[in-house]
């Protein structure tokens, strides 16, 4: 057994001719909290999908417990996924199921445990996130922070070796954000799991992460401990960490010169109008 539970080796991936990742290398040690950070559209969530085997890389490999993910059979993929828990961006709770039923769902689907044991386990998981008293509520009766905590209880329902978090702090108020932040760290340590956090929230992520990867332009632009990255003089890292609007990360998506584009459209419109006049005459 290697010290790294997940390894990404020389990975390249793209959609429809657009290369999103170019030779990415990352390792995720057992028992650690590792963050993947970067701007919107940098492919952070896509890396989670590659780890989970939802998509296949164009080049390179993702290994989970020394198994190459994209080379697994259907049964092999499901076996690897049994080791993973996932907290989706918006929680993704089943709206027609109660809090209890949401957390019980993976236990009923993936185990043969008796209902009495499932009940005890569900209440134990809900107690860990402070919501045992809310087990009868429906998702529509929960606040955003409560829904995220229920989703977290469901993500750790089967005591996974790997817990993946996709933007766990998005849309939360400061109190809920602090609660989720503490839960991620405490659950990771209690379970002896490896947590992979995809986020662009610097303050919260740096509080709990052991190691951070910054992704930009399809590559790992920087990596290190939160302390190291706070002191970084690399332009991209400095801009991102300190939230500066001016720097190597542009606000605008690449496009042609706006003035030239407007002039071209004006000329095309004029030509079209002249053509219509000629036809009418």
State how beta strands 211-216 and 219-224 pair. Answer: antiparallel
Number of domains in the chain: 1
Instruction: Identify the pLDDT of residue 173.
Output: 78
Report how far Cα 127 is from the mean position of its chain's Cα atoms. 25
d(CA 247, CA 245): 7
**Cβ contact 150:99 at 8 Å:** yes
Structural domain contains residue 169: yes
Instruction: Identify the pLDDT of residue 255.
Output: 66
Structural domain contains residue 9: yes
Structural domain contains residue 45: yes
Instruction: Identify the pLDDT of residue 80.
Output: 87
Structural domain contains residue 276: yes
d(CA 186, CA 17): 41
Percent pLDDT > 70 in the chain is: 90
Structural domain contains residue 136: no
pTM score over 0.85: no
pLDDT category at 82 given cuts 50, 70, 90 is: confident
User: Above 70 in pLDDT, residue 184?
Assistant: yes
Structural domain boundaries enclosing 243: 4-83+160-280
CA distances from 124 to 2, 113, 263 (A): 31, 15, 65
Residue 42: both structure tokens together: 């940098």
Structural domain contains residue 90: no
CATH of the domain at 70: 3.40.50.300
Structural domain contains residue 104: no
Structural domain contains residue 96: no
Dump pLDDT digits (tens) for 150-166: 888 898 888 889 999 98
Dump pLDDT digits (tens) for 12-69: 988 877 788 888 999 999 999 999 988 777 788 889 999 998 888 889 999 998 888 8
**Cβ contact 157:127 at 8 Å:** no
Instruction: Identify the pLDDT of residue 244.
Output: 60
């Amino acid at each position: 057994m290697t010290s790294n539970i997940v390894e990404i080796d020389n990975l390249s991936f793209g959609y429809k001719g657009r290369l999103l990742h170019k030779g990415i290398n990352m390792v995720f040690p057992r028992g650690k909290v590792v963050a993947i950070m970067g701007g919107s559209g940098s492919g952070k969530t896509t890396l989670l999908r590659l780890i989970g085997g939802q998509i296949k890389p164009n080049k390179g490999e993702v290994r989970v417990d020394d198994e190459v993910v994209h080379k697994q059979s259907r049964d092999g993929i499901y076996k690897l996924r049994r080791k993973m828990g996932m907290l989706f961006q918006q929680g993704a709770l089943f709206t027609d199921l109660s809090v209890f039923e949401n957390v019980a769902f993976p236990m009923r689907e993936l185990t043969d445990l008796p209902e009495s044991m499932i009940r005890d386990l569900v209440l134990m998981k809900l107690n860990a996130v402070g919501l045992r008293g809310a087990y009868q509520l429906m998702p529509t009766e929960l606040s955003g922070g409560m829904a995220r905590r229920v989703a977290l209880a469901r993500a750790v329902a089967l005591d996974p070796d790997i817990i993946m978090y996709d933007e766990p702090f998005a849309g939360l108020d400061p109190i809920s954000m602090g609660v989720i932040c503490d839960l991620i760290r405490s659950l990771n340590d209690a379970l002896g799991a490896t947590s992979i956090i995809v986020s662009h929230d610097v303050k919260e992520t740096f509080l709990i992460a052991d190691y951070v990867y910054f992704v930009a332009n399809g590559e790992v632009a920087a990596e290190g401990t939160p302390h190291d990255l706070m002191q970084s003089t690399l332009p991209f890292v400095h801009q991102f960490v300190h939230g500066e609007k001016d720097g190597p990360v542009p606000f605008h998506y690449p496009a042609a010169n706006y003035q030239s584009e407007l002039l071209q459209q004006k000329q095309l419109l004029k030509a079209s109008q002249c053509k219509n006049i000629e036809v009418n005459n």
